[in-house]
Chains A and B, each alone.
Chain A
Amino acid sequence: MNLILTGAPPIHWAVGGAVIAAVTLALLYLANRRLGLSTGFEDVCSFVLDTPYFRRSAVMSGRGWRLPFLGGLLLAGFVSALLSGGWAPTWELGVFDEVVGWGPAGKVAWMFVGGLFIGFGTRLAGGCTSGHGIFGMSNLEVPSIISTVSFMAAGVVTTQLLYRVVFA
């Protein structure tokens, strides 16, 4: 299966996993930081909302590393596109286009609703794929293992329902 961005196969999964592990360990050893990206949503919110929740130390003390790190992710997507033949805005959405076939307005609504689940869910759970799935599981933390099993299970059920029942 080819990537939507490049139209070519991805790098080997072991290489992807090894780079993620290297960055996670470098962040802790070099900067004493626990990998965790969904708190970055709160970093952004904290510029607008000043309730005690958004002013707590875990948010305020982490902005200095998380925001540039998130900027690096944004830049990485741009560089990755440039290296694969040029950057251009696109609405391409792979199997969603083939099976569901909605236009831009439908995709925006779909993605916004999905985003609500991501933003609310990750912050209620206290972490996402990075903080719970990678760091927490590697650190053998019970809450992270439970949360990872929960979001993997919900992802499987949702996609199975969407592509085998609702849009089938």
Chain B
Amino acid sequence: MTLFYLALGLVFGLALSRSGAADYNYIQAMFLFQSFQLYGIIGTAVVLTAPGLYLLKRYGRTVTGAPITIELKAMNRGTVVGGLLFGVGWSITGMCPGPILVNIGEGKVYALAALAGSLVGASLLGISYPRLSRPFGLPPVAASATRR
């Protein structure tokens, strides 16, 4: 299965690399409303994934016959505040998490610094999670993986 996931990532990454989703200029052009490209990519992805998800959930089974389970996201103050912080980072670097790795693969050296910052940032969140749970209304760690 490891090779299967690697192959899926390869296909996904090629689409990111060649569509502009991993390109600094296209990210800035999206936020400056100068290019439709990224809105088109995300919009198409959602418009095609939504009916597929609906049908898959109605069918209810994976290819092996196992029941489909989808982990749902929690809703709390972090949903907004974390989103705002991430948006600032996406603008600064011109990369969201997936494209950071694509950019490193492409040979863009500075993307390594974006990855290092992201790992430190995620560590800081994880370490301060117990202190942030009350002000942000975050779910307790054990229950944070709710499955349906």
Contact = CB atoms under 8 A, between A and B. Distances in A.
Given A112-B117, A136-B73, A80 B105 contact: yes
Residue among A49, A70, A129 having the largest count of chain B Cβ atoms under 10 Å: A129
Interface string A51-84: 1111011100100111011111111111111000
A38 B14 CA distance: 18
Interface residues of B, number: 119
B1 A64 contact: yes
B101 A19 contact: no
Nearest to B10: A72
A65 B1 contact: yes
A77 B98 CA distance: 11
Please classify the interface of chain A as helix (H, G, I), strand (E, B), loop, or mixed, using the class held by over half of its residues.
helix
Given A111-B114, A121-B86, A137 B46 contact: yes
B106 A80 contact: yes
Interface string A142-168: 111011111111111111101110000
A21 B96 CA distance: 17
B121 A116 contact: yes
Given A11-B18, A53-B141, A17 B43 contact: yes
A30 B62 contact: yes
Interface string B47-84: 11110110010000011001011111111001111111
A37 B144 CA distance: 17
Which 10 interchain pairs have the tightest Cβ spacing? A72-B9, A115-B117, A77-B105, A76-B13, A17-B44, A119-B121, A154-B87, A125-B82, A117-B89, A13-B40
